[in-house]
Amino acid sequence: MSAEIIRIAPPSGAYDVVVGEGLLDELGDLLASRTFCKDAFIIADSTVASLYLERARTALEAAGFTVGSAVFPAGETHKNLPTLGELLEDMAKARLDRTGTVIALGGGVTGDMAGLAAALYMRGIAYVQVPTTLLSMVDSSVGGKCAVDLAAGKNLAGAFLQPSLVVADVRTLATLDDGVFSDGCAEVIKHAVLADPRLFESLSREALSKDDPHERLISVIARNIDIKRSFVESDEREQGPRKLLNLGHSIGHAVEAASGYTLGHGHAVSIGLSAITKAAEGLGWAEAGSAAAIIDALDRHHLPTSSPYPVDELIGYARLDKKCDADGITLAVPEGIGHASLRHVGFEEFARIIALGTGAS
Ligand code: GLY
C-alpha cells in the first residue's frame, strides 16, 4: 500500500514525515532523494539495535551511504549527559564530518539523545528520525524537541532542532510489548481530545491495536502527525499554543517522577489526562461528561486512570516541573472533546487541581 507523507513547515525549515509499511528497507532511497550527504551515523539502543540496526544499515549502504553506528543501553535511566558524551565521542571517532547525518533509530529516548547529539556535534549537523514505537511515531519524532534528563528532573538539558526527515515503518510496531504500544495510545487519545472529536469517537468505539490492519495504523498515525504539525508550525518554540500539547503532562510528569520513572511515559500521561479532566469538570471548565468519556477511552486502551501516589507527593514533584514560572504554571485544560485552552494558575490553585483530579473521590 502507498505511504502517507505529511509536510511539516515550521519557520526553521520544512521536512517530510513518511508513514507506511516496509519503509525501513527503503530508508536509504528515502534519504538519498532528499539529501546530498554521503555519511550516515545510526544511533540505537541495545533493544532496537538487535532488531533493526542491520536492516537499516543494509538499506542505507544499498543507496550508497557510508554507515557508522553507536549503540547505548536501553532505558530512560540512560538518557543522561554521560551517555550523550559517549555518543558524541563515538561520532568523532567515526570521523563523521559536518556533512554527515545522524539516524535516530528507535523510540523516544533514542530520538531525544540522537537529536541532541546532532544539535551539539560540530555546532549542529542534520538528523533523521526513524521512530519504531507508536509514541515516537505520533509525538516525539516530530517537532524538534530533543533533551536528556538531569538529576534535578526530566528533559532539563536540551535543544530545538527539527529533523530533516522522519520515516515511520508501521511494521516495527509488531515487536512492541503491549504496554509500550499503550504508551503511544495515551498520546493518540491526547491529540484526539485536543483537536479531533471524530478520531476520539473512533478510538472509543474500537481501541487501537498493534494487530490492526496497517491501513488503520497508517491513517491514525498520519492524522496524529497532522494534528501535531498544526501546533509546531504555529509555535515552533512553544511560546504559546504548542503548550496545549502538554495536555495531561503537568500532572503526568509528577506521576512519572513519583514512580521513580518505572511507569511508562504514556501511562503517566494517561493518569495526568484523567486527573486534569476530572478537575476541569469539577471546576466547571470542561463540559459535563468529558471525564467519563476520556477515562472510558483510556480504559479501553489498557491505560491507568487513577493515581496510586499520595497527593502531597505529586504536588511536590509538580512544583519542580520546568513549565512552572515564578507565580505558578500554564496548564493545558480540556474544555470538552476536541477543544482545550491554556490557563495560568498559581501554585495553591495548582495544588487544589491536583488534589481534585487525583484524590479519592
Ligand atoms: N510533546 C509535546 C511537544 O512536542 O510539544
Please determine, for residue 304, whether its predicted confidence score (pLDDT) is greater than 80. Answer: yes
> Which atom in ligand 1 lies closest to the alpha carbon of residue 145?
4
- Residue with grid cell 519557520, as numbered in its chain: 11
DSSP state of 289: T
pLDDT at 1: 57
Record: fold of 178-358: Dehydroquinate synthase-like, alpha domain (1.20.1090)
Please tell me if the domain spanning 3-175 has the same topology as the one spanning 178-358.
Answer: no
Indicate if the pLDDT at residue 361 is higher than 60. no
Query: Which protein residues touch ligand 1 with a CB less than 6 Å away?
Result: 139, 143, 145, 238, 242, 245
Instruction: Say if residue 36's pLDDT is above 90.
Output: no
Quick one: average pLDDT of 262-276?
Answer: 97
| Closest to 193 measured CA to CA, from 307, 268, 309, 272 | 272
Question: pTM of the full predicted structure?
Answer: 0.96
Phi-psi region of 226 (alpha: psi -120 to 50; beta: other; left: phi over 0): alpha
Angle formed by the axes of helices 290-300 and 178-195, nearest 10°: 150
Question: Which residues are catalytically annotated?
Answer: 123, 145, 187, 228, 238, 242, 246, 249, 253, 265
State the DSSP code for 73.
-
Those residues whose C-beta lies under 8 Å from the C-beta of residue 139, and which sit 6 or more positions away, are 108, 184, 187, 224, 228, 245
pLDDT band at 57 (very low <50, low <70, confident <90, very high): very high
pLDDT of amino acid 220: 98
- CA-nearest of 200, 219, 225 to 138 is 225
Q: What percent of the chain is modeled with pLDDT above 70? A: 99
The pLDDT tens digits for 113-148 are 999 999 999 999 999 999 999 999 999 999 999 999
Span from the CA of 247 to the centroid of ligand 1 (angstroms)? 10
Cα(57) to centroid of ligand 1, in Å? 29
In the CATH scheme, what is the code of domain 3-175?
3.40.50.1970
* Domain coordinates in residue numbering, the chain: 3-175, 178-358
Task: Say if CB 30 and CB 23 are below 8 A apart.
Answer: yes
Phi, psi of 302 (to 5 degrees): 60, 40
CA of 72 from ligand 1 middle (Å) equals 24
Taking the centre of ligand 1 as the mean of its atom positions, its distance from the CA of residue 88, in whole angstroms, is 25
- Ligand 1 nearest-atom number relative to CA 232: 5
Rounded alpha-carbon distances, angstroms, from residue 167 to 129, 134, 316: 6, 13, 39
Q: Which of 160, 235, 246, 250 is the pocket-test mutation for ligand 1 (most atoms within 8 Å of CB)?
A: 246
Q: Kindly report the protein residue whose alpha carbon is nearest to atom 2 of ligand 1.
A: 245
Atom of ligand 1 nearest to the CA of 187: 1
Cβ count near 313 (within 10 Å): 14
| Nearest alpha carbon, ligand 1 atom 3 | 245
* Residue whose CA is at the smallest distance from ligand 1 atom 4: 143
Q: Which three cell numbers stand for residue 43?
A: 544511533
Name residues whose C-beta falls within 8 Å of residue 41's C-beta, 6 or more positions apart in sequence: 67, 68, 69, 70, 91, 94, 96, 100, 101, 102, 103
